[in-house]
Amino acid sequence: MESTDIILDLFLVLIAAKVAGEAFERLRQPAVLGEIIAGIILGPFLLGLLTDTDVLGALAEVGVIFLLFTVGLHTRVSDMVRVGGSAVAVGILGALVPLALGWGIMAALGRATLESVFVGTAMMATSVGITARVLADLGVLNREASRVIIGAAVIDDIVGLTALAILSGIAAGRLSYLSIAITAVESVAFIAFAIFIARRAADRFSALTEKVWRRNPGFIGPILVCLGLSVLAEYIGLAAIIGAFLAGMVFAESDRRARLDRAIEPLYDLFVPFFFVMIGVRVAPGAVNASILVLALVITVAAILSKLFACRFAAWGLARREAWIVGVGMSPRGEVGLIVAAIGLTRGVIGHDLYAIVVLMSLLTTFFAPPVLRRLIRPRVPAAAEQVAAASEADEHAPPC
Amino acid sequence: MESTDIILDLFLVLIAAKVAGEAFERLRQPAVLGEIIAGIILGPFLLGLLTDTDVLGALAEVGVIFLLFTVGLHTRVSDMVRVGGSAVAVGILGALVPLALGWGIMAALGRATLESVFVGTAMMATSVGITARVLADLGVLNREASRVIIGAAVIDDIVGLTALAILSGIAAGRLSYLSIAITAVESVAFIAFAIFIARRAADRFSALTEKVWRRNPGFIGPILVCLGLSVLAEYIGLAAIIGAFLAGMVFAESDRRARLDRAIEPLYDLFVPFFFVMIGVRVAPGAVNASILVLALVITVAAILSKLFACRFAAWGLARREAWIVGVGMSPRGEVGLIVAAIGLTRGVIGHDLYAIVVLMSLLTTFFAPPVLRRLIRPRVPAAAEQVAAASEADEHAPPC
């Protein structure tokens, strides 16, 4: 009622996301790419109809929280334990090889050590959001490769965020081994708490909230757990999305999962597109020249190849196609790369040239993965079979009512 | 991922709203009062944990949009036509009598005409949000009195917003009869469009979106209609919530209503509390002294009595209890009064003293109505019967699955 902006923005983002997403699906491309492109078109880069406001940023954050919560809901601890070895290997190798390669390339070009390490750090990250969305849209979140990717991406995030914390500490001139050790211990304790303790308490907690809150049984309680663990994750220095993901896992084996899944669906449909549209909106115009573009392409190719082969190799225990799916699925840097870039710029670790390079690398790796992933997971089939597949996929998404 | 604030704010607002709302329900008070009080406690008035940020304001606006959309979903055009005469009488008389009384009191106290008219204008409004929420929580949105209240509140809003537009024009020194006439014609055309044309097209539109969007059948289409009509309403000078309400009415008689109702429920549960918590958060500390308090109480009593008797009288066609329900249900000024106050202050029509008075009047009328309404609709009954009623109410809210 106060300003027309927020409702108009909601309308624009939703209609653009849904139209572009649907168009991309019809072209057999992932809907998420359509949403990012819709953001680039509507944003300051082209039309200037949307800008990166606090409100849209907040809705994007709510979107990614619901996305990771949904991913967590489809991730059983028992399945994670089964792929645990592969996930740890993929996560660690998939973080260290890109770090080394990025650092090496920049050092070879004569850049300062701090800058070089920073570019390497940005290349460590994995945007689990992008890949998880593609996997969810294809209805294969329960596939072995999907579980390895998501488990590895969580480990990756922890390694990457720890590296970022260290770098920020160096940049700020303050750093103690003690504070690094504390962050690491807190992270492990938090994950262990969510997986081993919170999970056991989940059904009891749900039963309690259902008794206390007569309305919305089985919905508000889990949402509060999701937000609470997200806040806790940020508090101890992890990303909020890790908390949301673990909260989803807490309820993955609960009796209430089906009902919770159904309640989360409208929230997912409404808010997740904001996250992807805003990735597009944040692409700023200008500040890119030929030499930066060349270096960005080199770094992008290095980022893709290092992740692809390191992860494919680390996933040697899986079938061949699954191992390649893991390699491709781990390669998009997406919003994680963009966040690292923003932190580097604001803290003065990198200049505008390296910022543009890291941003371009994040976007290009993000555009590379989804179509390849889709082709690997669902090879081109005759039109009739595709329709059957689409129909059965629709069934998977229909509320089990 | 960027800042901990938004997720923390979401968590705080939700947990406070749900705890306070539940506590009030157990005390047989409406949950919505608990939510407003939770906002006052968490806001700058007491603890200062929440402030009136852009982001929380936006979430509150999203909440009130979903609230009015839900109310519209339960409002059939045929029912509205049946209560049309009463609603028009209640709406117009319920706007003019408080206007005259407020204007008269302030003029008698020697205030300038513009100021006096302004206080009267703030007293015209009806916060359909508050009453609709109480009616929805009691599961009586389909009762005759409820339909009269909601219809009258819409008419009231149109009359009140037109008055506000005129006043703002006078305050800004620009006003033409032509522009007033255009606004009035646009309003009527908009409502007629929504009710007579959009409604007929609703099922065809839903079928189309279901064909185009393979996912979320019957959900994204109506949400876009809701946001689109809200934007359109603001564009022609009405409140966005009128558009959302009409959008709900568009789908009230659709085959898809049950499914839409089910999809809207999590959005309602998650976002509507933001609107009411933020009413509380916006209560600022300080700036109230004894003489202002006395005048505020006088104005509040005048606001309640004028609305109560004018509307009760205008609803003479209804049964006695129903007519009183209409009178009480029309009396809360809620956010509409607060918005009028904010506009008056920022445009320099009123000073801080009258602002405080209008704000207090809005809040006190808002606290008055819900408990009285609840008592009128659900007279105190023996505990056993109350439990049966609560159980049947729970059934009404359960998804028809």
Q: Which residue has the higher pLDDT, A3 or A296?
A: A296
Please give the DSSP secondary-structure letter assigned to residue B171: H
Distance of residue B317 Cα from the nearest chain A Cα, in angstroms: 33
- Nearest alpha carbon to residue B4 among A275, A246, A53, A234: A234
Residue B301, CA distances (Å) to B106, B114, B295, B362 in order: 14, 22, 10, 11
Distance of residue B185 Cα from the nearest chain A Cα, in angstroms: 21
Residue A249, CA distances (Å) to A152, A158, A255 in order: 15, 17, 13
Looking at the complex, does the CB of residue B132 fall below 8 Å from at least one CB of chain A? no
Task: Tell me the pLDDT band of A385, cut-offs 50, 70 and 90.
Answer: very low
Domain membership of residue A106 as a residue range: 62-269+296-394
Please give the DSSP secondary-structure letter assigned to residue A198: I
Contacts of A375 (CB under 8 A, 6+ apart): none
What are the φ/ψ torsions at residue B283 (nearest 5 degrees)?
A: -75, 110
Residues of A in contact with B4 (CB under 8 A): 231, 234-235, 240
Question: Rounded mean pLDDT of A263-282?
Answer: 85
Do the domain assignments include residue A389?
A: yes
Q: How many CB pairs under 8 A join A and B?
A: 140
Q: Give kind and range of the element (H or E) at residue A367.
A: helix A352-377
- How far apart are alpha carbons A261 and A70 in whole angstroms? 8
Contacts of A281 (CB under 8 A, 6+ apart): A39, A40, A42, A43, A44, A50, A51, A52, A56
- Nearest alpha carbon to residue A72 among A223, A250, A318: A250
Query: Dihedral of the CA atoms B77, B82, B87, B90 (nearest 10)?
Result: -170
Do the domain assignments include residue B126?
A: yes
Distance of residue B109 Cα from the nearest chain A Cα, in angstroms: 31
Partner-chain residue, chosen from A219, A224, A335, that has the shortest CB–CB distance to B15: A224
A118: its two tokens: 């920073």
- How far apart are alpha carbons B34 and B211 in whole angstroms? 43
Q: What part of A 298-337 touches B (C-beta under 8 Å)?
A: 335
- How far apart are alpha carbons A43 and B211 in whole angstroms? 29
A305-326: per-residue pLDDT in tens?
999 999 988 888 888 888 999 9
Of the ranges A295-299, A321-325, B33-37, B348-352, which one carries the lowest mean pLDDT score?
B348-352
Asked if A4's CB is within 8 angstroms of B235's CB, the reply is yes
Pick the residue of A133, A215, A242 with the most B CBs within 10 A to test the interface with B by mutation: A215
By C-alpha distance, the chain B residue nearest A390 is B214
Looking at the complex, does the CB of residue B203 fall below 8 Å from at least one CB of chain A? no
Looking at the complex, does the CB of residue B226 fall below 8 Å from at least one CB of chain A? no
Do the domain assignments include residue B386?
A: yes
A359-383: per-residue pLDDT in tens?
889 888 988 888 888 888 876 554 4
- How far apart are alpha carbons A18 and A21 in whole angstroms? 5
Question: Rounded mean pLDDT of A16-26?
Answer: 86
Do the domain assignments include residue A56?
A: no
Partner-chain residue, chosen from A2, A8, A18, that has the shortest CB–CB distance to B220: A18
Q: What part of B 238-267 touches A (C-beta under 8 Å)?
A: 239-241, 263-267
- How far apart are alpha carbons A223 and A235 in whole angstroms? 18
Do the domain assignments include residue A279?
A: no
Q: For residues B275 and B129, is the Cβ–Cβ distance under 8 A?
A: yes
What are the φ/ψ torsions at residue B161 (nearest 5 degrees)?
A: -70, -35
B161: its two tokens: 């917003």
Q: Estimate to the nearest angstrom the gap between the alpha carbon of B330 and the chain centroid.
A: 10
Residues of A in contact with B267 (CB under 8 A): 266-267, 270
Do the domain assignments include residue B27?
A: no
- How far apart are alpha carbons B153 and A136 in whole angstroms? 44
Q: For residues B233 and B239, is the Cβ–Cβ distance under 8 A?
A: yes
CATH number for the domain including A236? Answer: 1.20.1530.20
Do the domain assignments include residue B227?
A: yes
Partner-chain residue, chosen from A10, A234, A339, that has the shortest CB–CB distance to B7: A234
Asked if the interface predicted TM-score (ipTM) of this complex is over 0.85, the answer is no
Counting Cβ atoms within 10 Å, is residue B162 exposed (0-12), middle (13-18) or buried (19+)?
Answer: middle
A196-209: per-residue pLDDT in tens?
777 777 767 767 76
Residue B3: its pLDDT value, please? Answer: 43
Residue A162: its pLDDT value, please? Answer: 66
- How far apart are alpha carbons B180 and B92 in whole angstroms? 18
Residue identified by tokens 């305050």 is B171
Do the domain assignments include residue A29?
A: no
Q: How many CA atoms lie within 13 A of A262 on its CB side?
A: 17
The total of structural domains in chain A comes to 1
Residue A12: its pLDDT value, please? Answer: 92
* Residue type present at position A163: A
Neighbours of B103 (CB within 10 A): 20
Mean pLDDT of all residues in chain A? 79
Q: For residues B57 and B278, is the Cβ–Cβ distance under 8 A?
A: yes
Neighbours of B241 (CB within 10 A): 29
* Residue type present at position A165: A
- How far apart are alpha carbons A224 and A66 in whole angstroms? 12
Q: Which residue has the higher pLDDT, B344 or B20?
A: B20
B112-126, B207-221, B330-344: which is most confident: B112-126
Asked if B240's CB is within 8 angstroms of A7's CB, the reply is yes
- How far apart are alpha carbons B71 and B226 in whole angstroms? 12
Task: For B246-311, give the DSSP string.
Answer: HHHHHHHTSTTHHHHHHHHHHHHHHHHHHHHHHHHHT--SS---HHHHHHHHHHHHHHHHHHHHHH
B181: its two tokens: 């006439």
A171-195: per-residue pLDDT in tens?
655 556 676 677 667 777 877 787 7
- How far apart are alpha carbons B222 and B204 in whole angstroms? 12
Partner-chain residue, chosen from B58, B264, B339, that has the shortest CB–CB distance to A6: B58
Question: Rounded mean pLDDT of B4-14?
Answer: 85
Counting Cβ atoms within 10 Å, is residue A200 exposed (0-12), middle (13-18) or buried (19+)?
Answer: exposed
Counting Cβ atoms within 10 Å, is residue A47 exposed (0-12), middle (13-18) or buried (19+)?
Answer: exposed
Partner-chain residue, chosen from B227, B264, B265, that has the shortest CB–CB distance to A14: B227
Residues of B in contact with A18 (CB under 8 A): 213, 220, 224
